[in-house]
Amino acid sequence: MTENIEKPLTREQKKRQTRQAFYQAVLDLCMLGQGFGSISLRQVTREVGVVPTAFYRHFASMEELGRSLVEELLGDALATLRGHMQFGHKRTHERQIAKSVHLFFKAVDAQPHYWQFIASERFGGSEAVRHAIGEQIKTFANVMSEDLALQPAFAHVSAEDRYLLAEMGVNLSFSWIIDWLDLTYTPDLGDEENPEQVNLNLEQAKQAMLYHCTRQMQMLLYGAYNWKSTEETVVE
Protein backbone atom coordinates (compact mmCIF):
# COMPACT_ATOMS: atom_id res chain seq x y z
CA MET A 1 0.00 0.00 0.00
CA THR A 2 1.43 3.32 -1.10
CA GLU A 3 1.48 5.99 1.58
CA ASN A 4 -0.10 9.25 0.45
CA ILE A 5 2.44 11.96 1.25
CA GLU A 6 1.48 15.56 0.63
CA LYS A 7 4.01 17.57 -1.29
CA PRO A 8 5.35 20.63 0.53
CA LEU A 9 4.12 23.98 -0.78
CA THR A 10 6.33 25.77 -3.22
CA ARG A 11 7.61 29.25 -2.42
CA GLU A 12 5.10 30.75 -4.85
CA GLN A 13 2.22 28.77 -3.29
CA LYS A 14 3.20 29.94 0.19
CA LYS A 15 3.34 33.53 -1.03
CA ARG A 16 -0.09 33.20 -2.59
CA GLN A 17 -1.46 31.64 0.59
CA THR A 18 -0.15 34.52 2.70
CA ARG A 19 -1.59 37.13 0.31
CA GLN A 20 -4.98 35.43 0.60
CA ALA A 21 -4.65 35.55 4.39
CA PHE A 22 -4.10 39.31 4.20
CA TYR A 23 -7.18 39.67 2.01
CA GLN A 24 -9.27 37.62 4.40
CA ALA A 25 -8.06 39.63 7.39
CA VAL A 26 -9.25 42.85 5.72
CA LEU A 27 -12.61 41.31 4.82
CA ASP A 28 -13.14 40.02 8.37
CA LEU A 29 -12.35 43.40 9.93
CA CYS A 30 -14.65 45.20 7.48
CA MET A 31 -17.44 42.70 8.17
CA LEU A 32 -17.16 43.68 11.84
CA GLY A 33 -17.94 47.27 10.91
CA GLN A 34 -14.58 48.89 10.21
CA GLY A 35 -14.00 50.92 7.07
CA PHE A 36 -10.93 50.01 5.08
CA GLY A 37 -9.46 53.46 5.65
CA SER A 38 -9.51 52.95 9.42
CA ILE A 39 -7.73 49.58 9.37
CA SER A 40 -4.07 49.77 10.34
CA LEU A 41 -1.21 47.67 9.04
CA ARG A 42 -0.63 46.34 12.54
CA GLN A 43 -4.25 45.18 12.81
CA VAL A 44 -3.95 43.24 9.58
CA THR A 45 -0.65 41.59 10.45
CA ARG A 46 -1.99 40.67 13.88
CA GLU A 47 -4.99 38.98 12.23
CA VAL A 48 -2.71 37.07 9.86
CA GLY A 49 -0.25 36.18 12.62
CA VAL A 50 2.90 37.70 11.12
CA VAL A 51 5.19 40.53 12.16
CA PRO A 52 4.54 43.95 10.55
CA THR A 53 7.77 43.82 8.54
CA ALA A 54 6.49 40.67 6.78
CA PHE A 55 3.69 42.75 5.27
CA TYR A 56 6.14 44.57 2.98
CA ARG A 57 7.20 41.32 1.32
CA HIS A 58 3.76 41.32 -0.30
CA PHE A 59 2.51 44.90 -0.47
CA ALA A 60 4.12 48.32 -0.54
CA SER A 61 1.28 49.89 1.45
CA MET A 62 -2.23 49.34 2.77
CA GLU A 63 -3.53 51.11 -0.34
CA GLU A 64 -1.83 48.53 -2.53
CA LEU A 65 -3.32 45.74 -0.42
CA GLY A 66 -6.82 47.16 -0.91
CA ARG A 67 -6.30 47.66 -4.63
CA SER A 68 -4.96 44.12 -5.09
CA LEU A 69 -7.85 42.67 -3.11
CA VAL A 70 -10.34 44.34 -5.46
CA GLU A 71 -8.49 43.49 -8.66
CA GLU A 72 -7.97 39.83 -7.81
CA LEU A 73 -11.18 38.95 -5.98
CA LEU A 74 -13.68 41.22 -7.73
CA GLY A 75 -12.04 40.42 -11.06
CA ASP A 76 -12.54 36.69 -10.45
CA ALA A 77 -16.09 37.17 -9.16
CA LEU A 78 -17.17 39.31 -12.11
CA ALA A 79 -15.52 36.96 -14.60
CA THR A 80 -17.67 34.15 -13.20
CA LEU A 81 -20.80 36.30 -13.36
CA ARG A 82 -20.06 37.33 -16.94
CA GLY A 83 -20.24 33.67 -17.91
CA HIS A 84 -23.81 33.43 -16.63
CA MET A 85 -25.38 36.89 -16.86
CA GLN A 86 -25.31 37.26 -20.64
CA PHE A 87 -28.41 39.38 -21.04
CA GLY A 88 -27.81 39.95 -24.74
CA HIS A 89 -27.33 36.31 -25.65
CA LYS A 90 -30.29 34.70 -23.97
CA ARG A 91 -31.43 36.64 -20.92
CA THR A 92 -34.02 39.09 -22.20
CA HIS A 93 -37.20 37.14 -21.44
CA GLU A 94 -38.75 37.21 -17.99
CA ARG A 95 -37.51 33.85 -16.75
CA GLN A 96 -34.05 34.45 -18.17
CA ILE A 97 -33.65 37.85 -16.53
CA ALA A 98 -34.93 36.31 -13.29
CA LYS A 99 -32.29 33.60 -13.55
CA SER A 100 -29.53 36.17 -14.02
CA VAL A 101 -30.66 38.16 -10.97
CA HIS A 102 -30.85 34.93 -8.98
CA LEU A 103 -27.29 34.05 -10.05
CA PHE A 104 -26.10 37.45 -8.88
CA PHE A 105 -27.51 36.88 -5.41
CA LYS A 106 -26.03 33.38 -5.32
CA ALA A 107 -22.63 34.98 -5.95
CA VAL A 108 -23.24 37.38 -3.06
CA ASP A 109 -24.26 34.50 -0.76
CA ALA A 110 -21.15 32.54 -1.75
CA GLN A 111 -18.76 35.36 -0.73
CA PRO A 112 -20.70 37.64 1.65
CA HIS A 113 -17.62 39.19 3.28
CA TYR A 114 -16.22 40.18 -0.07
CA TRP A 115 -19.38 41.66 -1.56
CA GLN A 116 -20.02 43.59 1.67
CA PHE A 117 -16.53 45.06 1.32
CA ILE A 118 -17.19 46.06 -2.30
CA ALA A 119 -20.58 47.64 -1.56
CA SER A 120 -19.23 49.57 1.43
CA GLU A 121 -15.88 50.66 -0.01
CA ARG A 122 -17.18 51.65 -3.43
CA PHE A 123 -17.81 55.08 -1.92
CA GLY A 124 -15.39 54.69 0.99
CA GLY A 125 -12.39 56.68 2.14
CA SER A 126 -9.64 54.95 0.17
CA GLU A 127 -9.10 56.53 -3.24
CA ALA A 128 -7.08 53.54 -4.47
CA VAL A 129 -9.84 51.09 -3.55
CA ARG A 130 -12.58 53.30 -5.03
CA HIS A 131 -10.63 53.59 -8.26
CA ALA A 132 -10.00 49.83 -8.44
CA ILE A 133 -13.69 49.06 -7.90
CA GLY A 134 -14.66 51.65 -10.50
CA GLU A 135 -12.34 50.09 -13.09
CA GLN A 136 -13.76 46.61 -12.50
CA ILE A 137 -17.30 47.94 -12.83
CA LYS A 138 -16.40 49.64 -16.12
CA THR A 139 -14.99 46.36 -17.44
CA PHE A 140 -18.14 44.50 -16.40
CA ALA A 141 -20.36 47.16 -18.00
CA ASN A 142 -18.36 46.98 -21.24
CA VAL A 143 -18.81 43.21 -21.46
CA MET A 144 -22.52 43.49 -20.67
CA SER A 145 -22.81 46.19 -23.36
CA GLU A 146 -21.23 43.83 -25.89
CA ASP A 147 -23.74 41.13 -24.89
CA LEU A 148 -26.63 43.52 -25.44
CA ALA A 149 -25.31 44.33 -28.91
CA LEU A 150 -25.89 40.69 -29.90
CA GLN A 151 -29.59 40.93 -29.07
CA PRO A 152 -31.80 42.11 -31.99
CA ALA A 153 -34.08 43.93 -29.54
CA PHE A 154 -31.25 46.40 -28.86
CA ALA A 155 -30.09 46.81 -32.47
CA HIS A 156 -31.71 50.26 -32.64
CA VAL A 157 -29.77 51.45 -29.57
CA SER A 158 -26.42 53.12 -30.24
CA ALA A 159 -23.20 51.67 -28.81
CA GLU A 160 -22.89 54.64 -26.47
CA ASP A 161 -26.42 54.18 -25.16
CA ARG A 162 -25.97 50.40 -24.81
CA TYR A 163 -23.02 51.11 -22.52
CA LEU A 164 -25.14 53.53 -20.49
CA LEU A 165 -27.83 50.84 -20.21
CA ALA A 166 -25.26 48.26 -19.10
CA GLU A 167 -23.82 50.72 -16.58
CA MET A 168 -27.30 51.29 -15.14
CA GLY A 169 -27.79 47.53 -14.86
CA VAL A 170 -24.53 47.09 -12.98
CA ASN A 171 -25.21 50.03 -10.66
CA LEU A 172 -28.71 48.70 -9.98
CA SER A 173 -27.36 45.26 -9.09
CA PHE A 174 -24.71 46.67 -6.76
CA SER A 175 -27.34 48.76 -4.97
CA TRP A 176 -29.03 45.55 -3.80
CA ILE A 177 -26.02 44.01 -2.04
CA ILE A 178 -26.26 45.52 1.46
CA ASP A 179 -30.03 44.96 1.77
CA TRP A 180 -29.59 41.34 0.68
CA LEU A 181 -26.81 40.73 3.20
CA ASP A 182 -28.83 42.43 5.95
CA LEU A 183 -31.54 39.82 5.50
CA THR A 184 -29.05 37.09 6.38
CA TYR A 185 -26.79 38.72 8.96
CA THR A 186 -29.11 41.10 10.80
CA PRO A 187 -32.48 39.38 10.53
CA ASP A 188 -35.48 40.51 12.55
CA LEU A 189 -37.69 37.70 11.48
CA GLY A 190 -39.49 36.39 14.52
CA ASP A 191 -39.03 34.09 17.50
CA GLU A 192 -35.40 33.00 17.90
CA GLU A 193 -36.61 30.01 19.90
CA ASN A 194 -38.30 28.66 16.78
CA PRO A 195 -35.45 28.37 14.25
CA GLU A 196 -37.63 26.63 11.67
CA GLN A 197 -40.03 29.58 11.62
CA VAL A 198 -37.12 32.04 11.43
CA ASN A 199 -35.69 30.14 8.45
CA LEU A 200 -39.10 30.16 6.78
CA ASN A 201 -39.48 33.90 7.35
CA LEU A 202 -35.97 34.48 6.00
CA GLU A 203 -36.73 32.51 2.86
CA GLN A 204 -39.97 34.43 2.34
CA ALA A 205 -38.16 37.75 2.82
CA LYS A 206 -35.49 36.76 0.31
CA GLN A 207 -38.07 35.62 -2.21
CA ALA A 208 -39.88 38.94 -1.85
CA MET A 209 -36.66 40.87 -2.44
CA LEU A 210 -35.73 38.63 -5.36
CA TYR A 211 -39.12 39.34 -6.93
CA HIS A 212 -38.78 43.11 -6.55
CA CYS A 213 -35.20 43.17 -7.85
CA THR A 214 -36.14 41.03 -10.84
CA ARG A 215 -38.98 43.41 -11.67
CA GLN A 216 -36.60 46.34 -11.48
CA MET A 217 -34.19 44.73 -13.94
CA GLN A 218 -37.05 43.75 -16.26
CA MET A 219 -38.38 47.32 -16.25
CA LEU A 220 -34.92 48.65 -17.04
CA LEU A 221 -34.24 46.29 -19.95
CA TYR A 222 -37.75 46.26 -21.39
CA GLY A 223 -37.93 50.04 -21.16
CA ALA A 224 -34.80 50.29 -23.30
CA TYR A 225 -36.68 48.65 -26.19
CA ASN A 226 -38.57 51.93 -26.65
CA TRP A 227 -35.55 54.17 -26.32
CA LYS A 228 -34.56 56.22 -29.37
CA SER A 229 -30.85 56.94 -29.52
CA THR A 230 -31.54 59.60 -32.14
CA GLU A 231 -33.32 61.80 -29.60
CA GLU A 232 -31.30 64.81 -28.56
CA THR A 233 -30.41 65.32 -24.93
CA VAL A 234 -31.18 68.85 -23.81
CA VAL A 235 -28.93 70.17 -21.04
CA GLU A 236 -29.96 73.52 -19.60
Q: What pLDDT is attached to residue 22? A: 95
- The superfamily in CATH containing domain 63-224 is Tetracycline Repressor, domain 2 (1.10.357.10)
| CA distance linking residue 210 with residue 204, whole number of Å | 10
State the amino acid at position 213 in one-letter form: C
pLDDT digits (tens, 9 = 90+) for 166-201: 999 989 999 999 999 988 776 555 555 666 766 788
Entry pTM: 0.80
- Tell me the per-residue pLDDT of 119-144, one tens digit each, with 9 for 90 and over: 889 998 889 999 999 998 898 888 88
